[in-house]
Amino acid sequence: MNKQTFLKNLEKELRRLKKSECKKYIDYYDEIISDIMDKGVSEEEAIKRQGDVKSITDEILSNVNPKELKLFDLKGLLLAILSVIMILICAIPDAFTNLFNVQMNSSVSIIGGADGPTSIFIAGKIGAPTWMYVITAIVIVLTAIYWIKRIRQRNRS
Amino acid sequence: MDSQLRKGLVEYCILAAISREDCYGYKLIEDVSPFMEISESTLYPILRRLETAGKVKSYNTEHNNRIRKYFSITDTGKQALRDFEKDKHEIIRVLDYITGGSIDE
Give the pLDDT of residue B76.
93
Cβ burial, residue A86 (10 Å; 0-12/13-18/19+): buried
Q: Is B3 on the interface with A (CB under 8 A)?
A: no
- Which of B26, B39, B44 comes nearest A35 by C-beta? B26
Give the pLDDT of residue A145.
92
Q: Is B83 on the interface with A (CB under 8 A)?
A: no
- pLDDT tens-digit map of B27-58: 999 889 888 888 888 888 889 889 989 999 99
Best interface-test mutation with B: which of A28, A38, A45, A59 has the largest number of B CBs within 10 A? A28
Give the pLDDT of residue B55.
93
Helix (H) / strand (E) containing A39: none
- Which of B41, B64, B69 comes nearest A51 by C-beta? B41
What string of pLDDT tens digits covers the 157 residues of chain A? 788 898 998 898 888 888 888 898 999 999 988 888 888 888 888 888 888 888 888 888 887 777 777 777 778 888 889 989 888 877 776 655 566 555 555 555 555 445 555 555 555 545 567 788 888 899 999 999 988 988 887 776 5
- What average pLDDT does this structure show over B77-96? 90
The DSSP line for B19-83 is HHS-EEHHHHHHHHTTTS---HHHHHHHHHHHHHTTSEEEEEEEETTEEEEEEEE-HHHHHHHHH
- The residue in chain B having the minimum alpha-carbon distance to the alpha carbon of residue A32 is B26
Q: Is B59 on the interface with A (CB under 8 A)?
A: no
pLDDT band at B69 (very low <50, low <70, confident <90, very high): very high
Q: Residues A66, A145, A62, CA angle at the centre, nearest 5°? A: 30
Q: How distant is the Cα of A35 from the closest Cα of chain B, in angstroms?
A: 6
Report how far Cα A103 is from the mean position of its chain's Cα atoms: 30
Sequence-separated (6 or more) residues with CB below 8 Å from residue A49: A36, A41, B40
Cβ contact (<8 Å) for A56 and B64?
Answer: no
pLDDT band at B15 (very low <50, low <70, confident <90, very high): very high
Cβ contact (<8 Å) for A59 and B68?
Answer: no
b/e burial code for range B39-54 (CB count within 10 A of at least 16 → b): ebbebbebbbebeeee
Give the pLDDT of residue A93.
63
Sequence-separated (6 or more) residues with CB below 8 Å from residue A14: A21, A22, A25, A26, A57, A60, A61
Cβ contact (<8 Å) for B41 and A25?
Answer: no
ipTM of this predicted structure: 0.80
pTM: 0.67
Give the pLDDT of residue A14.
87
